[in-house]
Chain A
Amino acid sequence: MARNPAQFALTSRLLHWLMAAMLLSMLFIGAAMVTSLGNYHRLVALHRPLGIMILVLAIIRLVNRTFTTLPPFPPTMSKRERLIASASERLLYTLMIALPLVGWGMLSAGHYPIVMFGPLHLPPILPVSPTLYAVLRKTHTIMAYLLFLAFLGHLSAILFHILIIRDRLLDRMALWPVRSHNHKDP
């Protein structure tokens, strides 16, 4: 079945929702981990490999994005709105890649082993340095808050489009195929 040109490619849509679920879990695990005593270790042990999976997935998304045709913006979006949407997309991509890298770098600088599963671990990507560790540790937190805010902005915008403008903007990213609404087009 030919793709509806108003929808993102299926790979893009699958990657989007998989990433959404992983990022949200990650943000909540990250927040809970810092304030949990009994589950601290379990959450950290989950946080590390999940972060690396997000990094890999973000790179796959970036590659996928360059090789797929994007659906056009709907006419309900003004020029300014389109600029904001593009900028926020760039911010989200940057954070998806930078946050895990900062986490990996921070553990490297803090002389921690970067344990994934069982005996599997990653090499350090930065030299051991207390100052570097302290700076990256703070950066990691600040970026995580920024990502959470960017997510809230993203969600607010889509809800605004669905409920107030009612332009079916979500159809572009829906996992199920959506019939084209441009029946009048040849």
Chain B
Amino acid sequence: MNDNDGQSGDIGRISSGTMILRLAAIALVILAIAGVFAYAGGWLTPHTLTGARIVDRFEQVNEVHPGFRRNHAKGVCLSGYFESNGRGTALSKAAIFLPGRVPVIGRFALAVGQPYAADEANTVRSMALLFKLPDGEEWRTGMNNIPVFPVNSAEGFYDLLLSSAPDPATGKPDPAKMGAFITKHPEFAKAIQLIHGQPVSSGFADSAYNSLNAFRFINAKGAEIPVRWSMVPVQAFRPFNSAMSNKSNTNQLFDALIAEIHNGALQWHLIITVGQPGDPTADATLPWPSERQHIDAGTLTIDHIESEDTSPARDLNFDPLILPDGIAGSDDPLLSARSAAYSSSFTRREGEPKSPSAVSTAETGK
């Protein structure tokens, strides 16, 4: 082969000075690309808030409980079905709203970081659901029994976790820290009034669970509307009665739920609240006016309860942005942040050894 002979002859023609310059140029290009990659990967900005850092904060406040969710750590799994009445189809093309029945699995939990914490009436209760649509799509949603979220940003939530953590000396949040927090995140003051103003129901069964964040529904014509949704119980509201509560049973709320489901299926209506132009979608601390249109899209029936120790719902990430076609996230920054933090928590716990749930199989079998 005698091609390229004109080229290979060039090698000797570079002076050693030129060669050093060119080698330096190559090194510079490689370093620059590696630098941009490091920047994209967050290594140069270690103080930026990430999903992992939010989960770190949970671990800082609650310690690490291997194998458990970093928040909503204490829970029990459910299954049942959702019967759509077809009324949602005008708002969203999502297959969930076509008339008919889809299977549901999910989880009731308390918004605590400690998986063995004693049940308290004032702890936030949650209902997380996975709707399995006939075409293989999924809708996952995690809802809470509070009317609004206490903060409107991930930074606010990150700060709140530390500021509201009990002071080891008093067992209560440090008022000075909470004061500084409220100055920095003023939306909290109004939100917490709304949260505390809501009467506490007797348990999981007579609680309403709210999406808190706004979403968008897209219908078959491509029309988009802002929505929020709630699971509103068919079970009549009964106020929590502290005199009746059994403090010696650390699982009193879960045990009551188990007994109720064993007694008969529990039901909730999926109520879609239709937002109007101008309704806040990027701020989960702000309620929408109560006169907004509410559409009952169908009924959720929960007829089976199972310990996390055996249920597939333990190893599910109830990422609020796992949505079917026809439902999409809004501009609420909390949604993407929840998605990131849930993913981080999921990845950590899935790699850890599992311990039995406080709500054991023996408990759910009672």
Q: Does A90 interact with chain B (Cβ within 8 Å)?
A: no
Contacts of B337 in A (CB 8 A): 37-38, 40
Would you call A34 and B41 a contact (CB within 8 A)? yes
Contacts of B3 in A (CB 8 A): 6, 75, 180-182, 184-185
Compute how far the CA of A165 lies from the CA of B316 in the bound complex, rounded to whole angstroms: 55
| Chain A residues bordering chain B, tally (CB within 8 A) | 53
Q: Chain B, 30-47, contact with A by CB distance < 8 Å: what is the 0/1 string? A: 100110110011100100
Would you call A182 and B4 a contact (CB within 8 A)? yes
Q: Does B190 interact with chain A (Cβ within 8 Å)?
A: no
Assign chain B's interface to a size class.
35 or more
Contacts of A155 in B (CB 8 A): 29-30, 33
Contacts of B317 in A (CB 8 A): 110-112
**Chain B: CB-nearest residue to A182:** B3
Q: Does B287 interact with chain A (Cβ within 8 Å)?
A: no
Compute how far the CA of A128 lies from the CA of B105 in the bound complex, rounded to whole angstroms: 15
Would you call A163 and B25 a contact (CB within 8 A)? yes
Give chain B nearest CB distance to A156 CB in angstroms: 6
**Chain B: CB-nearest residue to A160:** B26
Q: Chain A, 155-178, contact with B by CB distance < 8 Å: what is the 0/1 string? A: 110011001111110000000000
**Chain A: CB-nearest residue to B336:** A41
Give chain A nearest CB distance to B320 CB in angstroms: 9
Give chain A nearest CB distance to B131 CB in angstroms: 11
Would you call B335 and A156 a contact (CB within 8 A)? no
Contacts of B14 in A (CB 8 A): 164, 166
Q: Does B49 interact with chain A (Cβ within 8 Å)?
A: yes
Which residues of B (328-366) have their CB < 8 Å from a CB of A? 329, 333, 335-337, 339-340, 343, 346-347, 349-351, 354
**Chain A: CB-nearest residue to B41:** A31
Given A6-B3, A31-B40, A31-B41, do A167 and B315 touch, yes or no (CB 8 Å)? no
Given A152-B33, A152-B34, do A76 and B26 touch, yes or no (CB 8 Å)? no
Given A39-B336, A164-B14, A164-B19, do A134 and B4 touch, yes or no (CB 8 Å)? no
Given A128-B315, A185-B3, do A28 and B336 touch, yes or no (CB 8 Å)? no
Given A38-B337, A181-B3, do A148 and B37 touch, yes or no (CB 8 Å)? yes
Which residues of A (100-138) have their CB < 8 Å from a CB of B? 110-113, 115, 118-119, 121, 123, 128, 130-131, 133-135, 137-138
Contacts of A113 in B (CB 8 A): 136-138, 322
Compute how far the CA of A147 lies from the CA of B337 in the bound complex, rounded to whole angstroms: 28
Given A37-B50, A110-B346, do A76 and B329 touch, yes or no (CB 8 Å)? no
Compute how far the CA of A44 lies from the CA of B339 in the bound complex, rounded to whole angstroms: 10
Would you call B4 and A181 a contact (CB within 8 A)? yes
Q: Does A35 interact with chain B (Cβ within 8 Å)?
A: yes
Q: Of A37, A40, A72, A76, which is within 8 A of B7 by CB? A: A76
Q: Does A27 interact with chain B (Cβ within 8 Å)?
A: yes
Which residues of B (8-25) have their CB < 8 Å from a CB of A? 8, 10-11, 14, 19, 22-23, 25
Would you call B37 and A111 a contact (CB within 8 A)? no
Compute how far the CA of A146 lies from the CA of B343 in the bound complex, rounded to whole angstroms: 23
Q: Does B325 interact with chain A (Cβ within 8 Å)?
A: yes
Contacts of A152 in B (CB 8 A): 30, 33-34
Q: Does B321 interact with chain A (Cβ within 8 Å)?
A: yes
**Chain A: CB-nearest residue to B322:** A113
Q: Does A70 interact with chain B (Cβ within 8 Å)?
A: no
Q: Of A130, A163, A184, which is within 8 A of B315 by CB? A: A130
Compute how far the CA of A106 lies from the CA of B290 in the bound complex, rounded to whole angstroms: 43
Q: Which residues of chain A have a CB within 8 Å of any CB of chain B?
A: 6, 27-28, 31-32, 34-42, 44, 72, 74-76, 110-113, 115, 118-119, 121, 123, 128, 130-131, 133-135, 137-138, 148, 152, 155-156, 159-160, 163-168, 180-182, 184-185
Q: Supply 24 A–B pairs (Cβ within 8 Å), ascending by A.
A: A31-B40, A35-B42, A35-B48, A38-B337, A41-B321, A41-B329, A74-B8, A75-B3, A75-B5, A75-B8, A111-B317, A113-B138, A128-B315, A131-B351, A133-B347, A134-B351, A155-B29, A156-B30, A159-B29, A163-B26, A164-B14, A166-B11, A167-B4, A184-B3
